[in-house]
C-alpha cells in the first residue's frame, strides 16, 4: 500500500518528496488510522473526477 501524506515539515528538512507515495505496511497503516481508544479508524480516499 502507498499513501500520500501532505504534512511535510520544512522546518526539519521534509520536502514533498518525503511525503509522496510512501510505502506503508498494513499494520502501520492500521496504527496511523486509529483515532480513538476504542479503535475507531478514519481514512479518506480520493479518485480523479
pLDDT at 23: 82
pLDDT at 24: 81
Threshold 0.75, pTM exceeds: no
Separation in Å, CA 12 to CA 6, 15, 20: 15, 9, 17
pLDDT at 1: 66
The x, y and z cell numbers of residue 37, run together, are: 481508544
**Tens digit of pLDDT for each residue in 1-49?**
677 777 777 788 887 777 777 788 888 888 888 888 888 888 777 788 7
Amino acid at each position: 500500500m502507498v499513501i500520500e501524506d501532505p504534512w511535510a515539515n520544512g522546518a526539519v528538512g521534509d520536502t514533498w518528496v518525503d511525503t509522496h507515495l510512501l510505502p506503508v505496511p498494513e499494520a502501520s497503516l492500521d496504527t496511523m488510522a486509529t483515532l480513538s481508544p476504542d479503535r475507531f479508524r478514519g481514512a479518506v480516499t480520493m479518485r480523479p473526477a
